[in-house]
Structures are given as C-alpha cells and as structure tokens.
Structure 1
Amino acid sequence: MANSSPLGIFDSGIGGLTVFRSIVEQLPGYDYLYLGDNGRAPYGNRSFATIHQYTWECVQWMFKQGCPLVILACNTASAKALRTIQQQDLSAQHADKRVLGVIRPTAEVIGNYTQSRNIGVLGTKGTVQSGSYLLEIEHFFPELKVYQQACPLWVPLIENGEYDKPGADHYVQLYLDQLRKQSADIDTILLACTHYPLLQEKIKAHLPANVNVVAQGGIVAASLVDYLKRHPEMETRLSKAGTRTFYTTIDDTAEFNHHASLFFGEEVKSESVDVSVGCE
C-alpha cells in the first residue's frame, strides 16, 4: 500500500461492508481499504468518549496506510465521533485529510421516501440517544415527524451469524412493534445501522406492504459520487488500480472473512491489525 492512496471505509464491525458494496458498485475503479474494529465491537452501548477514542485511533491508522479520505460507514461512530474529528482532530493533526459520515447524506434525502411525513428510525442505542438523526432530519425536512427505536440485540445477532435463523424473528418483531406503537402513521422506516440490511427481508416480512424500508448503502454511495465531483482536489489524490484490502482488529480472521463475505457479496480475505500501535 506504500504507493497507493486508497479510499478508506471504516466500521465498528462488518456492517459497513453493506455500504462498501454499494460504493464499489458506483465507483468500481478506485483502490479501497476496509477496516472493521471487530475486536472492540459493538460500539452501540459505549460512551461518547470511548467511541471517539476508538474511532479516531482507527482513522489515524487508516491515514498511516495512505488513505486521504475515510468514510465512517458506521452510524454510531458518525453520531458520536464524527463532529469532534472534523472540527478538532483533523485541523490539529491532519488538515489535509477528510472524514465523512453516513448520517447527513441519509438525512438529506429521507424525506423523499415518505407520503405520510411520518418516519421511523431503527438504530443502536448510541445512535438513538445521540439524537443526531432528529437534528439532521429537522434541518432538511422540518415538517417530518420522526420516531426512533433502539434495537440493542440486532447487531450481536448479526455479528454472530444468527440474522437468518428463525430465532431472529422474535427480536425483529419485538423492536418493530415498539416502534409502530409510537405512531400508526409511519410509512417509511430507516435502517440507521449498516448492519441491519442483513435483516431487511425479515423486517419487511413483519411489516405491511405499504411501509418502505430504506437501507443506506445506495444513498451514501450516491452522496460520495457527488462529493468527489464537487471536490476534484480530493478525487485526484485517490489511486485507481481497483484494489480492495480488508483489515480487522480481531485475531480470528477466518471468522471475520466468513461473515464479511456474506455482507460484501464476494470472497473477503483479511489481515489482523493492532490499530493502537503508534497512534497519537
């Protein structure tokens, strides 16, 4: 990677691979580096300070591998760490680098999916408690009514490969019922966690046919395409040899590779890394 400047994709685990897949579909010729912090996942129940520390360590490690631009393909990291990284960390240490998240691009378009103007947001406890979606959606679509529901058991189910098992249906139904009890007018549900698309078919099966279920991958990918068009100074820095490298912070790369391949849609071979080594 010494002569490469890949586009970095970060997630607390493997969920970000659903976004990565969509980005590759729209921008296939670029070099990519994916990092999953599986060794410290899930992030959802951790404090703001801890999530910022973990995310910034991973971002710095990706910078050291040559990434000039990193996408936080993780809603919890975007909600709890992105602003501090953008407003403080980058200007102090890496003014020539950029870090983008997934919440703002989603908030910019989510209002286009609803007729009733009532939407539900399903996310981790950290994302929901941050209030980030409420603030961002209010900015772009002040007329929308937004209802949130934390789904703390979904990420562990997915990370452990249980998302397609019959036992997952109970927990899918549980959180959907809690969300829909808040309003009978919800006609659009946002999967505000990049892990949740693996449960999308089960989620749809437990909802009326007229309720839209919106995943973020295509939205974030389209936003990135637009960003690179508007920032040619960054686009020209990204190398374009079509390479994809995968890293994880757990020792068992075989387990990561197995689950990651299901998320990414093709075979994944990864290396294990210690992101804390050499971080400032």
Structure 2
Amino acid sequence: MKNTSPIGIFDSGYGGLTVFKSIAEQLPQYNYIYLGDNARSPYGDHSFDTIYQYTLECVEWLFAKGCKLVILACNTASAKALRTIQQKDLPAKYPDRRVLGVIRPTAEVIGRYTRSNQVGVMGTRGTVNSQSYLLEINKFYPGIQVHQQSCPMWVPLIENNEHLQAGADFFVQEYCNALLQQSSDIDCVLLACTHYPLLLPKLKTVLPESITILSQGEIVAKSLMDYLDRHPEMEMQLGKGGEKFFYTSGDPTAFDAHASIFFGAELESCKM
C-alpha cells in the first residue's frame, strides 16, 4: 500500500472550511483535497434523496482523486446521506474506502459540556428535520433533553458576507430567542452547521454568558486523530507532505474571494 492518498474533505459550500482549518491545524502532516459543491449549495432545503445523490457524486469524485478517506464536513450531508453511503455504497462498490461525518463525533462528547442536561441544537432545516442529533445524542446520553432550532437565514447571510453587519442582528436574535423559549435551563448550544462559527461574535452578545457555545471543528479534528490511531491500516495509506488542494463545483474566482473568510487564509481553488 502506497502512502499517497490524500484525505478528502467535502462540504456543500464554504462551511466545511471551518472544520478543515481545525483538522489541518491538528494534523498538518497529511495531504488534503477540499471539495465545495457551491454550484448546488445550500443543501439544507433539499430532499433526502437529492442530498444523498449530490453527496454520493462528490464522494465518488474524491475517490477518483485518490482519496481513501473522506470526511463529510457538512451536517446536512452527514444527516441525510452518510448512513446510506456507509451501509449501501461502500460495501457494494468501495469496500476499501471510508466516509466519516460530523454528527456522531459531536454527539459522543456533548455530555461533557452540560450540567443541566438541557442542550440546544441550531442547524439548517435539513439537519433539524432529520432528527439526527436527537437520535445520536440519545444513544450516548439518554438523560439529555435536546431542543432544536432551525436557522434558515444564517447560511445565506454568511455566504453573502453580511453576517457581521447590523442587518444580521434581527435573525440572530430571533433564532436564539426561539431556542431559549423552549427551555430556560439550556446551558449548552451546539452550532450544528459548519457555517455558524462565523456568527460567534454576535452569538456571544445574544446568548447568556452561562451558556457554552460549541463549534464542531476541534471536536471533529480530535475524532479524526483518534480514528487514525485506531485504524493504522488506513493511516499507512495517507500521503504526508502537508499539501492542500481546493476544488469547487462553482466559480473558482468567487470561491477564492469568499473562502478565505472561512479558512482564515488566502487560497487558490480549481474547477471540479
């Protein structure tokens, strides 16, 4: 087995770059390919079947680029496509490949961040409607009560670079109020969309200081480190050199201009 395989990072658009940033910081030695399906973003309001088809197409594209391991750095894709890909497509067509998501790693540790056992989850309509976080958190922490709030305006605001403007205040306040109205005992809020960390400055002014706001990047990075420790047969195949390649299904010029906001550094992408 040649150790030339990059790790694939997939998202419906830009948001997965926040997860990629954390992964690259904690695991800088590996090679990576990031793919954003910007031409068909956002995924949040699509059906299960559509999101599954879009996600599978992108995963197979990353496989064709040599990736043996792909991370779905997208909550909607993880909620609506991951299980089918893992249970149907990988055994039938790609038995030597692996696809991991962002929901399970978060569910495994969320109990460490709550004292009241009252947790809020803020995500896209697709993620919330899938009930994936309710199901996964209940597996690990059956005593935790999960309160969900969809935030359909947040991704458009962020992708139009309006998230820190005054015009975003109304929608940040509206969704936070709607969540807290479900329970006054919520002491941990999970940002269940990889776009949402860009709203942290506003969220910290709206949510009470007693509430822990949880982003996924560092959690997913640590989970990946643990996975590679437990699966040396996969780790041996990964290319090491710290190379990063970026692709988009949309316009590379537009992607590059916007992606640096999420990744925290200038980058240059290619057309998928």
* Same fold by TM-score greater than 0.5: yes
CA contact (8 A) 2:4 2:237 kept: no
Match of residue 116 from structure 2: 116
Matched residues in 2 for 1:219 and 1:59: separation? 22
CA contact (8 A) 2:16 2:194 kept: yes
Match of residue 257 from structure 1: 256
Q: Indicate the percent of aligned positions where both proteins have the same amino acid.
A: 64
State the shift of 1:138 in Å: 0.3
Matches within 5 A, 1:45-64: 45-64=45-64
TM-score, normalization by structure 1: 0.95
The alignment of Structure 1 onto Structure 2 pairs a total of residues equal to: 270
Match of residue 277 from structure 1: none
State the shift of 1:111 in Å: 0.8
Matches within 5 A, 1:164-243: 164-243=164-243
Match of residue 128 from structure 1: 128
SS for the counterpart of 2:238 is coil
TM-score, normalization by structure 2: 0.98
Matched residues in 2 for 1:52 and 1:207: separation? 34
CA contact (8 A) 2:259 2:267 kept: yes
Matched residues in 1 for 2:14 and 2:151: separation? 17
Matched residues in 2 for 1:172 and 1:255: separation? 26
Q: Which amino acid aligns with 1:98?
A: R
Q: Which amino acid aligns with 2:211?
A: V
Matched residues in 2 for 1:177 and 1:194: separation? 21
Correspondence 1:37 to 2:37:
yes
State the shift of 1:241 in Å: 1.1
SS for the counterpart of 2:166 is coil
State the shift of 1:159 in Å: 1.1
Matched residues in 2 for 1:91 and 1:109: separation? 28
Matched residues in 2 for 1:52 and 1:61: separation? 14
Q: Which runs of 5+ in 1 are unaligned?
A: 274-280
SS for the counterpart of 2:112 is helix
Q: Which amino acid aligns with 1:143?
A: G
Q: Which amino acid aligns with 1:46?
A: H
Matched residues in 2 for 1:207 and 1:243: separation? 38
State the shift of 1:145 in Å: 0.9
Q: Which runs of 5+ in 2 are unaligned?
A: none
Q: Which amino acid aligns with 1:31?
A: N
